[in-house]
Amino acid sequence: MKLDLLAKPETYFSGDRPEMVQYVPEDAKRILEIGCGEGNFGVYFKEKSGAEVWGIEYDAAHAQVARTKLDRVFAGDVAAFLSELPPRYFDAIVCNDVLEHLTDPYSVLLQLKSKLTANGQLISSLPNIRFFRTFFDFVFHKNWEYTDNGIMDKTHYRFFTIKSIPAMYERLGYEVLLHQGINPSKSIRPVLFNWLMLGRFSDIRYLQFATVVRPK
């Protein structure tokens, strides 16, 4: 898998994703973040609870930065390092907007099950292809244009909806503990559209969905 990362803004790798912190169990002592960027998300847990945090980052330069902050960091495609991860070791595995970049996220998710402890949880953030701006663009304007970043990022291989995310996890043998929209738009447009459509489009105001699962 070869990703074009040259067009990404610097904040793409340095964001700490504060809205996702609440979904990681407070008692997690060993955390793996896939797509860790420069490691800022993991730093929060190291400083707050002294957690041991590992990372996997596709971009070598940003992985090198993460190595100065986290306990162990692999640089490259996540699939190449799954066999090096210890079994039943992590209390939490975090995938913040990363599964959509994988050609086969299903195989990765299946293999990650064995890396979680007995009570371990996997936490993901996934972009909503039905976010109102994207939804309106292809429904009303008949437009499907890839961009350098965002929901229509040209490095996205997979697209997800409010229904397809929990369905994917359940199909792969996970139990869904929580699934909810995050980063809602402040625009009145999705609210009005949902009202006109009798409440059937409440999902289009959310940029992403946060999901917490554990192996069945």
Residue 103 is part of a domain; what is its CATH number? 3.40.50.150
Q: 164-171 and 105-112 helices cross at what angle (nearest 10)?
A: 50
State the pLDDT at residue 16. 82
pLDDT exceeds 70 at position 17: yes
Cβ burial 60-81 (10 Å sphere, 16+ → b, else e): eebbebbbebbeebbbebbbee
* Residue 12: band (very low, low, confident or very high) from pLDDT cuts 50, 70, 90: low
Domain count, the chain: 1
pLDDT at 119 over 70: yes
Asked whether residue 13 carries a pLDDT value surpassing 80, the answer given is no
- How far, in whole angstroms, is CA 86 from its chain's centroid? 22
Q: What is the pLDDT of residue 1?
A: 44
**3 belongs to a structural domain:** no
Q: Which amino acid is at 27?
A: D
Q: Which amino acid is at 72?
A: R
Exposed (0-12), middle (13-18) or buried (19+): which is 111, by Cβ within 10 Å? Answer: middle
Kindly state the average pLDDT of the residues 85-97.
Answer: 98
Does 102 map to a domain? Answer: yes
Mean pLDDT for 50-77 is 97
Which tokens is 54 given? 């590992």
The CA distance from 33 to 15, in Å, is 13
Mean pLDDT over each residue of the chain, to the nearest integer = 93
pLDDT, residue 169, reads: 98
Within a domain: residue 2? no
User: Does 179 fall in a domain?
Assistant: yes
The reply to whether 143 falls in a domain is no
- The whole-number average pLDDT for the span 51-56 is 98
Question: Looking at per-residue confidence, does 62 or 8 come out higher?
Answer: 62
Residue 88: both structure tokens together: 């039943």
* pLDDT band at residue 214 under the 50/70/90 scheme: very high
- The enclosing H or E element of 42 equals helix 40-49
CA-nearest of 98, 156, 104, 102 to 129 is: 156
Q: What are 176's two structure tokens?
A: 């869904």
pLDDT of residue 14: 56
DSSP secondary structure of 173-185:
TEEEEEEEEEEE-
DSSP strand pairing (116-127 vs 206-215) = antiparallel
Q: Say whether pTM exceeds 0.85.
A: yes
Q: What pLDDT does 9 receive?
A: 53
4 found inside a domain? no
* C-alpha span between 159 and 101 (Å, rounded): 9
Residue 30 DSSP label: E
DSSP type of residue 153: B
More confident of the two residues 18 and 14: 18
The pLDDT confidence band at residue 204, using thresholds 50, 70 and 90, is very high
Q: How far apart are CA 14 and CA 11, in angstroms?
A: 5
Residue 25 lies in a domain: yes
- Judge whether 144 lies within some domain: no
Structural domain including 175 reads 11-129+156-185+206-215
Q: Is 187 exposed, middle or buried (0-12, 13-18, 19+ CB in 10 A)?
A: exposed
Q: What is the pLDDT of residues 149-179, one digit of tens each?
A: 999 999 999 999 999 999 999 999 999 999 9
The answer, yes or no, to whether residue 27 has pLDDT greater than 50, is: yes
